Structure 1
Amino acid sequence: MRLNKREFRYKRQGVTLAFFFGQTVSILFLLSAPQTPAQDAQPFPVISRLDSSDTAFRQYVADVEAARLRIHNRERTGEGAESLAGVLTVYAYNPGPRDDAFTLAARCNIPYAALATLNHIPHPDSFIGAPTLLLPSMYGIFIPEKPETDLELLLFTGRAQEEGIPITVTRSGGTERFLFIPGADFSPTERAFFLNTGFRYPLRTYRLSSPFGPRVNPVTGNFRVHQGLDLAAPEGTEVYAARDGEVIEMGTDPIYGNYIIIRHGETWASLYGHLSKFETALRSHVRSGTLIGRVGSTGQSTGPHLHFELRQNGRAQDPGRLLFTK
């Protein structure tokens, strides 16, 4: 990597943040300065309590306000994202049993999108019992270089071309790279995935062989409404849960063949039909993207494919309007 001579260093609370700008990449190194033995394992200033009696928290609040002012001025002057690099600071906090995404966001005066994306938290429940959290002083979206969750994949595919600051964060688990988009918040679709109201395609590779809506049944020749999507794929292809939920029904049906129904909250359910094999159990609680079965051709089928339905309050909805695909 070739770097030019511009270098900015920011020192506060025992941490040095060095920003180097090259021709094509900006990198943030978080380097631990000399600390007391109790802090040796933590390269970030530690907030013990989210109240004014904690010195680190008072400093964090001041940093948040300074960063918010800079973002406001940037929107007025049209400065590039790179101009905000030296304003970003990061603190560490061990959440308590009563801390959740919404209370933390309120106490820190930072949108939960920034807290969630910096800490790889895919939905609000994941804040409960979480290990040490990193608290950024500037609100925005952190997009990981190697996305893993549905939310991160959505961010990666939808925002990768936006103007941001490439950063590298070093913590006890190793080093990871993000693209930080200052001042950004979740879009409605991103918020839906974070709040666990969005759905993903149940196959990673497929060919849409029959959409939702009226059609002539290829087996019976009858004209009727097709209440789901037929996704053609080789026999044995992995089938994944479209969203977090509970397996409430599984069995064999003359039409659906081997099928699974997952309930998602009070109003939604998803159905997976024509399976060759089950990979889950009745009453199991599954996460979005959990392996639940394999593509097959059981029941009323002309070849290997997955019949996939989404039902809201028992009524079939067009999955094509509701699914996120990466």
Structure 2
Amino acid sequence: MPFFRSKPGQAREPGRKMKKRVLRMVFGIFFALSLSAQESLPNLPVISRLDPGDMVFRQYIADVEAARRRIFNRDRTGDTAELLAGDLTIYAYQLGAGEDVFTLAARCNIPYAALATLNRLAHKDGFAGAPQLILPSMPGVFIPENPESDLELLIFTGRASLDGVPVTINRAGKRERFLFIPGDDFSPTERAFFLNTGFRYPLRNYRLTSPFGPRVNPVTGNFAVHQGLDLAAPEGTEVFAVREGTVVELGTDPVYGNYIIIRHGENWASLYGHLSKFETALRNNVRSGSLIGRVGSTGQSTGPHLHFELRQNGRAQDPGRLLFTK
């Protein structure tokens, strides 16, 4: 029996897919006019120690301070994004023992959003064991040409303005293309995803059939509080973990049918009910977006759908207020 019980929020925003297509077209135009025409890219200067005794680190700090002053004064000087990005320089650094994104950002006087987006790290723990990092000399957000992680997709689709500059960066002999927005930072939602406190929807395509809150149970006819979302989708539709975590329960229940419960840290848990098939196992560690099961109609159900719940400290929360849709 699962440790919490019972059966979204907002429907998908119309035109979201069209917006993504338009953004990709804009990216294509930007990059066609960008630095990608260069035949070769120079090796990056390497910082050995985050210490004033390291001459490369001293130069990096000087570059950062100069860039921050220009961004701070941009309204007075009229500097455009293109002019600001002209001063962008990239350095290389191998993260040392006991260092993380926050200590690195503090020592370099650069926001961790710039470090995370340039290095394409989906969450704060991605720095652990990472290969050589690259450090930008200017605060800002780097949007990759081909976003992959939840965080990158969120940044890609969530920017109302594309006041950025195309840049091509050499990392270990490989070219990577970004749209750089000088002086930008994470939005609250993007920060939540990076700090691993945000949630994604468990289905890519669905129809909301019953939101969170009071309702008449369609099977029993009784009035009760529906503690989750019912998301209708065809039998066999893929179900994904809404955030990284550990599978703490996996079984069958008269109400939920085949269900999975994933624990996300100390305070949060998610439940996925009425599944037709399991695609994970008990005690598995899963990542955000991992395939964990398939939509079904097992248990107390009137047709194929996913019953989905979010609990914080054991109490049901409205998933419609907490889930990010892309």
Q: Report TM bin, short chain.
A: 0.7 to 0.9
The runs of 5 or more residues in structure 2 that have no matched partner are: 1-28
Structure 1 counterpart of 2:89: 89
Q: CA deviation at 1:160?
A: 6.0
Contact 1:99–1:127 (CA under 8 A) maintained in structure 2:
no
Larger relative contact order (CA 8 Å, sep ≥ 6): 2
Structure 2 counterpart of 1:3: none
**Paired letter, 1:210:** S
Structure 2 counterpart of 1:140: 140
Structure 1 counterpart of 2:229: 229
Structure 2 counterpart of 1:218: 218
Matched, 1:262 2:262: yes
Structure having the higher strand fraction is 1
SS in 1 for 2:57: helix
Q: CA deviation at 1:173?
A: 6.2
| C-alpha spacing 1:203/1:164, structure 2 compared with 1 (3 Å) | same
The alignment yields a C-alpha RMSD, in angstroms, of 1.9
Contact 1:250–1:282 (CA under 8 A) maintained in structure 2:
yes
| C-alpha spacing 1:23/1:187, structure 2 compared with 1 (3 Å) | closer
Cα distance between partner residues in 2 of 1:180 and 1:32: 18
Q: CA deviation at 1:229?
A: 0.6
Structure 1 counterpart of 2:185: 185
TM-score (norm 1): 0.87
Q: What whole-Å deviation, never above 9, does each CA across 1:211-232 have from its counterpart, x for those lacking one?
A: 1111111111111111111111
TM-score (norm 2): 0.87
Cα distance between partner residues in 2 of 1:76 and 1:124: 35
Structure 1 counterpart of 2:120: 120
Structure 2 counterpart of 1:66: 66
Cα distance between partner residues in 2 of 1:62 and 1:220: 69
Structure 2 counterpart of 1:288: 288
Cα distance between partner residues in 1 of 2:323 and 2:110: 29
Matched, 1:174 2:182: no
| C-alpha spacing 1:121/1:22, structure 2 compared with 1 (3 Å) | closer
Contact 2:295–2:304 (CA under 8 A) maintained in structure 1:
yes
Structure 2 counterpart of 1:320: 320
Structure 2 counterpart of 1:77: 77
Structure 2 counterpart of 1:49: 49
Q: CA deviation at 1:186?
A: 1.1
The runs of 5 or more residues in structure 1 that have no matched partner are: 1-20, 34-42
| C-alpha spacing 1:181/1:54, structure 2 compared with 1 (3 Å) | same
Q: What whole-Å deviation, never above 9, does each CA across 1:63-115 have from its counterpart, x for those lacking one?
A: 10111111112133343211112110000111122120101001111011000
Which range moved further: 250-259 or 79-88?
Answer: 79-88
Q: What whole-Å deviation, never above 9, does each CA across 1:133-190 have from its counterpart, x for those lacking one?
A: 0100001111111111111111001116331111122323632221111101111111
SS in 1 for 2:96: coil
Matched, 1:151 2:151: yes
**Paired letter, 2:216:** V
Number of positions where the alignment pairs a residue of Structure 1 with one of Structure 2: 297
Cα distance between partner residues in 1 of 2:141 and 2:200: 21
Q: What whole-Å deviation, never above 9, does each CA across 1:115-144 have from its counterpart, x for those lacking one?
A: 000001111111111101010000111111
SS in 1 for 2:69: helix
SS in 2 for 1:122: coil
| C-alpha spacing 1:30/1:76, structure 2 compared with 1 (3 Å) | farther
Contact 2:31–2:177 (CA under 8 A) maintained in structure 1:
no
Cα distance between partner residues in 2 of 1:92 and 1:220: 62
